[in-house]
Amino acid sequence: MHIDLTGKTALVTGSTQGIGLAIAEGLGASGARVAVNGRSGERVQAAVAELTAKGLADVVGVAADVTTAEGVAQLTQQLPDVDILVNNLGIFGSIPAQEITDDEWRRYFEVNVLSAVRLIRTYLPGMTERGWGRMIQIASDSAIVIPEEMIHYGTSKTALLAVTRGFAKDAAGTGVTVNSVIAGPTHTGGVEDFVYQLVDKNLPWDEAQREFMIKYRPQSLLRRLIEPEEIANMVVYLSSEQSSATTGAAVRADGGYVDSILP
């Protein structure tokens, strides 16, 4: 399968590191013009430089806080139209269930859910008018298998699946597809920090990862953390012409973590 995104502009939120950066690289390597986004101008430019050094020909940086309406307005001034929107931005963290405050609940929904909703509302009309577009939300296995130590995070990702399905119906018949990717436990710097919150901080990384998977993610059929590039591969496919019959879906790239025979 040859995926060619030449002539398409893609925005990946939260793409200065980790999964978002891998997605930006994958889309750019397939020919798309890629907009890297983050709150810090310095980190955005560092990510742009990193991708450019890897041979990507058309990468731009857009520093804006998309968790606020003001930030989205700032972003759209710089990037008024996109063909591919990847809502990757998200926060996570371990908090005992009964200690999650109202403010934390609100913060997780503002960042993990409403930021995506705002950007979908912003860019969907233009995609619909042009008769083509791809909108992809990065969800999580935690949306389905709610972790005891991250109820607020899991619930926000469940809501993101519902947002995806609802907007796919809103875009029905327009040539725009709206999908979610259910990402499994993935190896990023933030996840390394999270792992060491739960296992012995003195363990070497390979041992810490193994203990984490056995104790906290035993459902994984991979028995290892997923690499960001493996999530990016799914996103690149869903961004392509070849995925035209897939919409309103929650597509799994979870290493078999979710115990289900459905996608």
Q: Which region holds residue 256: left if phi is over 0, alpha if psi is between -120 and 50, else beta?
A: left
Active site residue 196: no
Give residue 105's pLDDT.
98
- CA 170 to each of CA 119, 167, 173, 175, 244: distance values in angstroms, whole numbers, following the listed order: 15, 5, 9, 12, 16
**What phi and psi, each to the nearest 5 degrees, are found at residue 65?**
-90, 100
208, 200 contact by CB (below 8 A): yes
Domains belonging to the chain, first-starting first, are: 9-186+226-253 (3.40.50.720), 187-225 (no CATH)
CB atoms within 10 A of CB 183: 27
Considering the candidates 108, 123, 153, 216, report the single residue annotated as catalytic: 153
Give residue 47's pLDDT.
98
Integer Cα distance of 165 and 247 in angstroms? 8
SS3 state at 134 = strand
Query: What burial letters (b/e) apply to 81-116, b meaning 16+ CB within 10 Å?
Result: ebbbbbbbbbebeeeeeeebeeeeeeebbebbbbbb
Give residue 191's pLDDT.
84
Measured at the CA of 174, the angle between CA 129 and CA 244, to 5 degrees, comes to 120
Give residue 148's pLDDT.
92
SS3 state at 35 = strand
Token pair for residue 173?
């018949």
Give residue 160's pLDDT.
98
pLDDT along the chain (263 residues), means of 10: 97 97 98 98 98 96 97 97 98 94 98 98 98 98 94 98 98 98 92 90 93 92 94 98 98 95 85
**What phi and psi, each to the nearest 5 degrees, are found at residue 24?**
-60, -45
Strands (DSSP E) contained in 13-103 are 33-38, 59-63, 84-87
pTM beyond 0.75: yes
Query: What burial letters (b/e) apply to 213-234, b meaning 16+ CB within 10 Å?
Result: beebbebbeeeebbebebbbbb
